[in-house]
A and B are shown apart, each in its own frame.
Chain A
Amino acid sequence: MKRLTLTALAAAVALTAAPASADLIVPNLSYRTGPYGANGTQYADGFNDYFTLLNERDGGIGGELIQVPECETAYNTEKGVECYEATKEGALVFNPLSTGITYQLIPKVGVDKKVLYTPGYGRTSAKNGKVFEWVFNAPANYWDGASVAIKYLLDENGGDLSGKKIALVYHNSAYGKEPIRTLQELAEKHGFTLSEIPIEAPGQEQKSQWLQIRRDQPDYVLMWGWGVMNQVAIQEAANIRFPMENFIGIWWAGSEIDVTPAGAGANGYKSMTFNGVGMDYPLYDDLKTHVIDPGKASQGGEHVGSAVYSRGLYAAVVIAEAIRKAQELAGTSAITPEQLRDGFENLDMTDERLTEIGLPDFGPAFQLSCANHGGNGMARVQQWDAEAKTWNLITEFTEPDNEVLDPLIAEDSEAYAQEAGVTPRDC
């Protein structure tokens, strides 16, 4: 009898936990544990909270509640694939926040017909929608980030970087190596010298690399780091007295947790970003009323407004807008992944729409199409104020150098198409 009761209870719990069939399912492949858990937690919280807001305030999107089942990947590629397999039933879109997991999922989503949205990470050439039908990486990718960083340095140097020395400190992984080709091309175009300095993951020990930087004395250091590598690099840069205003990280090296361990030493450090930070946006009034104050914020709302939380929230905003567009195009609220793909391909994120959402100037305006899954690649630069403990935006959104990037995207995506036997779509 006791066993029967337990079985019934377990069945009841399983049924309760499963999303209602009419709901739209957006799994959150998150990581709250392990070496990268501090970053993953904030991103997952922002992602969850925006959908909670839509459910609580608007009753979902188009009358459909959004279910966000979470699965812990621990930033581990194998676990990420397991999570994908475990949650793909009925799911519309995946956003695993890991370039390693993304590379494994790209062939899978093509077979399963699920959308893969990788804002600011993943495979850069997925911007080519003709080859990567199911993958989207707007508003910006790694090559955009590299190009906008160089554009910023050009502005800082009166449009001339010839003779300058730029060092790239990078996570020795698929992610960290992404910008190398772009930077090599840009070095050739603008006449600066590029030195590439890999750091083995996780990156707790970087003495050799920063001694090399101290000896070589580059004018600027760019960083593609993640997790503990960022904190140690910023501390080591401060230790050798490298001028922080000449040290620029990609957006994944631009959160509060990257700079706070170095204290005052991190003052002036810069990073790229494609989303706003802080709570000074009208959306946060609604978030406070409907999510934070009623105690429905993910993990208690501890990280609301942080850089990585804001990026997770921004990813949810773009997905929600694509769902809205898909519903409009399909004439039904209960959309399929195919219809969501169409929604993404017709997405027009205007400044006006962001203002309507309550996030004016929070992200760049961009438009997607069948051929362009990456938008216009605009990004901006933010700078850390260690005393006020805030990021300040110091540039407007800037377009990358598409003259350099477009041929690279075409080349890489065509190579993938040949390798994977994909026939590019005609669009």
Chain B
Amino acid sequence: MDQLFFAAEVFLNGLMTGVMYSLVALGFVLIFKASGVFNYAQGVLALFAALTLVGIQQGQVPFAHLINAIFGTHVESFGWTLPSIAAIALTVLVMIGLAILIETLVLKHLVGQEPIILFMATIGLAYFLEGLGDVMWGADIKTLDVGLPQGISDSVEAVTAEWFGYGFFIDRLDIWATMIAALLVAALVAFSQYTKQGRAMRAVADDHQAALSVGISLRFIWIMVWSIAGFVALVAGIMWGTKSGVQFSLSLIALKALPVLMLGGFTSIPGAIVGGLIIGVGEKLFEFWVGPLVGGATENWFAYVLALLFLVFRPQGLFGEKIIERV
């Protein structure tokens, strides 16, 4: 009986972890949906956004190392600590500015190029942003505190202990992440379905040339999509950064999003969520049941195996659009 409760606890935690994966996957989906580009830099965007948030919140002088090295000064801090909301708002502005720069300096010059060229551009962008983040904010691990609670939920533990005689562990941060992800997805779906800009975004996704012919500005849409992806990256960066501190390995969370995308499809916002949940639950249950028999540490590879299994039966992913090309 205990094993059943343990499995139920693992299942619930798998769902919560899946939501965290979905937050990263959403950024990929948004950009792929609107431009057909697989944005290799999405993980680095999350890192850059989180670094910027901590820097702004703690009043860190950007490029302080560089300034001090060139001018022999000792500037480190502006001496303020901003409220989280203000810091998040300013970071969103920075991410919008970054989207404008990416569009102006990179994407604009690549209109009409093959998707592989745009993909290569995002690889370059990833390395550039990682270096920029390092020079701008330093390589130290930074503590991120925007007021999100962490640790075991006492109420969940108490209720489950009363019901089953075993108190389940659920991290309060994961509960918040789930609520935020639900709000985010609802907002994104509403935006793409019911607003003029959202419909324009979908039109661009369907056919660039046709969208241009009816007067939709491709450049505006790209800036908008990269801005939204930047915002989603900020949310992912906050959730993951709260847990581990903001550090350069944060960019590697993109690796957790890839199987989610393979499974859920590259073009579906609900797919990113459902894919995340399946991967989260699948890898956790596999680790729980099979991990001890094979020495553990199965999660990283099993997520990909699971995604590949789905690909065999639905190459476009669960919610992806079926591509039919006639010869």
Report which A residues bind B (CB closer than 8 A).
32-38, 41, 172, 196-200, 202, 204-205, 207-209, 211-212, 214-215, 227-228, 231-232, 235, 238-241, 257, 260-261, 263, 265, 295, 299-300, 302
Known: A199-B297, A261-B143, A300-B68. A204 touches B134 (CB 8 A): no
- Give the residues in chain A near B81, CB-CB below 8 Å: none
* Chain A nearest CB, measured from B157 CB (Å): 10
Report B-chain residues with C-beta under 8 Å of the C-beta of A295. 72
Given the known inter-chain contacts A37-B139, A257-B141, please indicate yes or no for A197 contacting B296, CB distance below 8 A.
Answer: yes
Complex contact B249–A35 (CB within 8 A): yes
**Which A residue sits closest to B138, measured CB to CB?**
A302
Give the nearest-CB partner of A257 in chain B.
Answer: B141
Is B208 part of the contact surface with A, judged by Cβ < 8 Å? no
The secondary structure that dominates the B interface is: helix
Q: A205-B299, A208-B287, A211-B169 are in contact. Are A232 and B13 (CB under 8 A)?
A: no
Least Cβ–Cβ distance between A205 and chain B, in angstroms: 6
Q: Is the CB of A228 within 8 A of B249?
A: yes
Chain A-chain B contacts (Cβ-Cβ < 8 Å), number: 119
A344 vs chain B, min Cβ distance (A) = 32
Whole-angstrom distance between the alpha carbons of A228 and B248 in the complex?
Answer: 9
Say yes or no: A38-B247 contact (C-beta < 8 A), given A207-B284, A211-B10, A260-B143: yes
A235 touches B139 (CB 8 A): no
Interface string of B131-166 (1 = CB under 8 A from A): 100100001110111000011100000000000000
Tell me if B17 counts as interface (CB < 8 A to partner A): yes
B152 & A202 in contact (Cβ 8 Å cutoff): no
Assembled-state Cα–Cα distance A37/B243 (Å): 19
Q: Which residue of A lies closest to B140 (CB)?
A: A38
Residues of B participating in the A interface, judged by any CB pair closer than 8 Å: 6, 9-10, 13, 16-17, 20, 65, 68-69, 72, 130-131, 134, 139-141, 143-145, 150-152, 169, 171, 240, 243-245, 247-250, 252-253, 256, 283-284, 287-288, 291, 295-297, 299-300
Say yes or no: A32 contacts B169, CB within 8 Å: no
Contact of B287 with A239 in the complex, beta carbons under 8 Å: no
Known A35-B252, A207-B17, A211-B10; judge A260-B299 contact (CB<8 A): no
Choose among B240, B245, B295 the residue that contacts A260 (Cβ–Cβ < 8 A).
B245
Chain A residues positioned under 8 Å from B16 (CB to CB): 207
CB distance from B188 to the nearest CB of A (A): 24
